[in-house]
Every structure is written in structure tokens, then in C-alpha cells.
Amino acid sequence: MTSVMWFRRDLRLADNPALVEAVADEQVLPLYVLDPRLWGPAGESRRHYLGASLRSLDAALRQRQASLQVVRGNPVRRVVLAAKAVGAERVHVAADFGPYGRKRDEEVEAALAEAGIQLVRTGSPYAVAPGRVTKDDGSPYKVFTPFSRAWQNHGWRGPIDAPTGATWLEVDDTTDIPDAALPDGIDLPEAGERAALKRWHDFLDGPIDDYKTERDKPGVDGTSRMSVHLKWGEIHPRTMLADLAGRSGAGPTTYRNELCWREFYADVLWHNPDSARDYYKPEFAKMAYDEPGELFVAWQRGETGYPIVDAGMRQLRATGWVHNRVRMIVASFLVKDLHVEWQHGARHFLRWLVDGDLASNNHGWQWVAGSGTDAAPYFRVFNPVSQGKKFDPKGDYVRRWVPELRDDPDPHEPGERNGYPGPCVDHAEERREALDRWERIRR
């Protein structure tokens, strides 16, 4: 039997159940479709990283006398054409649980069925697929802590090896792996399965032990930076969970909890697909917001006059990544200090973050905005000065990303100096304004 392995968010060979199923069909065409619906909104960093990850997968396949067929266009058309070209009877995929991915796969499945070809879904990008962890009455969890207990009790299968003995189909030389150029000054992490495994094992060899205490400090290399590898499926979370299973202590336990947050947000989005763009708590749509203007542009550029905020926004542009504590600070500043709706910030993040995951990103933004799954109400407003002093006490993070303040004895204090702008708003005043707007919708 001949089949197509349609790679999406699983750009790896090991621990890939869909690929194992495809190889069992004997002859396999490895395929990736550059979807304009996803490629178009992506920024330079995301495009470059995806291209690098595809080249890494292609190199791994070439070691097995195969190559990755990369085509551009509507997947409904391109997947069917590829399957017909090799006489495939089945197309194998890992299930996609996002709103767009679900709709796309249904359309591809219908088009394949017309051609007498079956779409086979095996596995997912999660240890536990969205929708499987529910309360006793079958309803979904809306709060993280009870979800995490049920998720842990549910458990997950162990990882599997990369398949061997496949007969890979020959492909022509028209494969179209993108090579998006990066602007000067942007430095992205190494892409691919091998890089993912190396980074993960390096983290396990030391930093994980102090993860609970160091993960909130942006000036310290205390996080795993695995989010980008999880985003593109260069490693599967159950591979990581298997490595964590034999480890005790606060660090591994906290890290396992962070993996659960990723699965919780995916589950929330599965049950509430409109929350990708709209308010999870619809009453927040009634709040008065300001239209994004010059202050929004200053936030995007890292020129607000609040050092920790500007450091984070500059790190985003330079590396395609932002420390999680700083993500919360800059999100709070946009929504609570500048009164701009969270969707504008979420879109900007998804354009630039190489680890930009729709469920985690957008529900993280809603959490900060007060309209998400968090039980704490809207009145949590991050003070950008005190947050900087608390989590970056020596100013190392700010000095790295805001060179105007490199020699400043107290780089967290706002104020115009050395070419650095003064604060664009008064935080105390805008905090009161944010709470006033919240009180109006409460009444």
C-alpha cells in the first residue's frame, strides 16, 4: 500500500505515531504544505525558523534515502494532488485541534474521500489530546488546578522510536523549502529535532534542578527555551514527560506543571474555539478600550519609557522569543496602562514569536487581560517598575536589551536620559483608569 505522511506540527522522526502508521503502509511520500493562510501573517522570524526546521527534517530523511516534498498552496488541493500523483490510498496526519486546523482537515478529508483516499489521524501534539480530560459529568474543566490533577491521573503513553524499514517514495527536485532572509540583528535558536533533543538534555543536566526558583528571572538562563521546539513538533511532550518521570524535586515538578498549562490551554480552546479571537468571558467585550495609535507603536518598538517593558519588546524582535515573566509584564502594560484590547497584542506576538502557539499565546493574553480562565479578577495590574526590580534586581536583563541604560546605576527607574525616552504614560494614573473602566462594566 502507498501512503502520504503529511507533516504539520510534528517536524521530527522519533516519537511520531502518525509516521509509524504511515510507514506500516510500506511506501511513503513525506509531504509538507506551505499554507498561505498560515504563512502570510507570519513575520520574518517565524518564516525563517520554519524554513530551517523543514531543512533539518529533510536532512534527516535524506539520511534514510528520502527527501521531504514541500509545496505551496491550499492544502485541500495540494494534498489531494500529491496523494494522486503517487497513487496513495491513505494520507496520515497527527490530529489538529485548533479551530482553523480542524476545519482545514475536514475539508481535506472530504476532498480525499471524493478521490477514494482515506485521511488517517493518529496522535496529536499533546501528551493527552484535548477533550479527553473531563469532569465526572463529561463537562470540561475551566480552572487549571483541578484540570492538572485530572490530567496527571489520566496519564499518557510512553514515547516510541523512529520507524525503520520504510520504503520512501522518490520525489522530484521541485521541493520548495523556504529560505526567508533575516534582517540584521535577529538571532534565532537552532531548529530541528536534533537541536531540540540537545537543548532538552542540556536543560536536564543542570538548570532543571533550580527551575522553580530561577524561571521568573529574565536576566538568568533559568528556563528550558523548549517552547519553540514544542510549537513545531521537533520534540513531543510525552518524550519530555518520560524523561521527567524518574525525577523528583521542586524543579521537575514545576516544569511538568508548565507542560500541563500548555495542554490546559489547548483543551480550553478545543471546547471554546471562538476564544482564539473573542473574549472567553464575554462581558469584557463591553469595556471601553482605546484604538491602537502612537502609543501602540511605541509599545511595539520598545520605546514606552518603561525599561522592563521596552527590554521585552526589543528581545521579541531580536530573538523571536520573550521570557514568560516579561510576556506578562508587557501584556499587562498594553491592556491596563495603554487600554488597548488584548487581541492587538496577541496578533503582534504571533507575528514575531517563533514559539507562537495559538492556544497558549492567546489564552495567556486573556489571562493577563482578566478575561480568561484565571480566577483572579481584572484588578491585577502589573507595576512595570516594581516587577523589574523584583525579578531583575541587578538590572542585567534591562541593560542587555536597552543599551541606552547599560551604564545606569538603576536601569528600572523610568526617566529620560542617554537618548532613552521618558515614560509615555503615568502608571499610577492609568491603573486607576483601568480599574474605573472595569467598575463601569461590573455595574
Mapped to the 3 state alphabet, what secondary structure does the chain carry? CEEEEEECCCCCCCCCHHHHHHHCCCEEEEEEEECHHHHCCCCHHHHHHHHHHHHHHHHHHHCCCCCCEEEECCHHHHHHHHHHHHCCCEEEECCCCCHHHHHHHHHHHHHHHHCCCEEEECCCCCCCCCCCCECCCCCECCCHHHHHHHHHHHCCCCCCCCCCCCEECCCCCCCCCCCCCCCCCCCCCCCCHHHHHHHHHHHHCCHHHHHHHHCCCCCCCCCCCCHHHHHCCCCCHHHHHHHHCCCCCHHHHHHHHHHHHHHHHHHHHHHCHHHHCCCCCHHHHHCCCCCCCHHHHHHHHCCCCCHHHHHHHHHHHHHCCCCHHHHHHHHHHHHHHCCCCHHHHHHHHHHHCCCCCHHHHHHHHHHHHCCCCCCCCCCCCCCHHHHHHHHCCCCHHHHHHCHHHCCCCCCCCCCCECCECCCCCCHHHHHHHHHHHHHHHHC
The half-sphere exposure of 313 on its side-chain side, counting CA atoms within 13 A, is 24
φ, ψ for residue 310, nearest 5 deg: -65, -35
User: What Å distances lie between residue 387 and 125, 331, 344, 398, 420, CA to CA?
Assistant: 34, 13, 23, 12, 20
Task: Kindly report, residue by residue over 183-197, the tens digit of the pLDDT.
Answer: 778 899 999 999 999
Provide the grid cell at 26. 510500506
User: What is the pTM for the complete model shown?
Assistant: 0.95
| Cβ pair 97, 270 in contact under 8 A | yes
Biggest alpha carbon–alpha carbon distance for the chain:
70
Q: Where in the chain are all domains bearing CATH 1.10.579.10? A: 282-442
What is the CA angle 327-332-338, rounded to 5? 125
Task: Name the CATH architecture for the domain at 125-158+194-271.
Answer: Alpha Horseshoe (1.25)
Residues of the chain with CATH 3.40.50.620: 2-124
- Residue 134 forms beta bridges with which residues? 140
State the SS3 of 283-331: HHHHCCCCCCCHHHHHHHHCCCCCHHHHHHHHHHHHHCCCCHHHHHHHH
The structural architecture, per CATH, of the domain 282-442 is Orthogonal Bundle (1.10)
Give yes or no for a contact between 93 and 119, defined as CB atoms under 8 angstroms apart.
yes
C-alpha cell at 154: 489520566
Instruction: Confirm or reject CATH 3.40.50.620 for domain 2-124, answering yes or no.
Output: yes
* Residue 164 CA from chain centroid, whole number: 30
The whole-angstrom separation of Cα 71 and Cα 29 is 13
Sign of CA dihedral 375, 124, 274, 313: positive
242-268 confidence digits (pLDDT tens): 999 989 999 999 999 999 999 999 999
Domain with CATH 1.25.40.80 in the chain: 125-158+194-271
Per-residue pLDDT of the chain (443 residues; tens, 9 = 90+): 999 999 999 999 999 999 999 999 989 999 999 999 999 999 899 999 999 999 999 999 999 999 999 999 999 999 999 999 999 999 999 999 999 999 999 999 999 999 999 999 999 999 999 999 999 999 999 999 999 999 999 999 999 999 988 899 976 656 788 886 787 788 999 999 999 999 999 999 989 999 999 999 999 999 999 999 999 999 999 999 999 998 999 999 999 999 999 999 999 999 999 999 999 999 999 999 999 999 999 999 999 999 999 999 999 999 999 999 999 999 999 999 999 999 999 999 999 999 999 999 999 999 999 999 987 666 789 999 999 999 999 999 999 999 999 999 999 999 999 999 999 999 999 999 999 999 998 87
Distance in angstroms (rounded) separating the CA atoms of residues 206 and 240? 15
Give the Å distances, CA to CA, from 190 to 49, 197, 207, 229.
8, 11, 19, 10
- 434, 437, 442, 443: CA torsion to nearest 10: 140
Task: Check: CB of residue 392 under 8 Å from CB of residue 398.
Answer: yes
DSSP lists the bridge partners of residue 4 as 29, 91
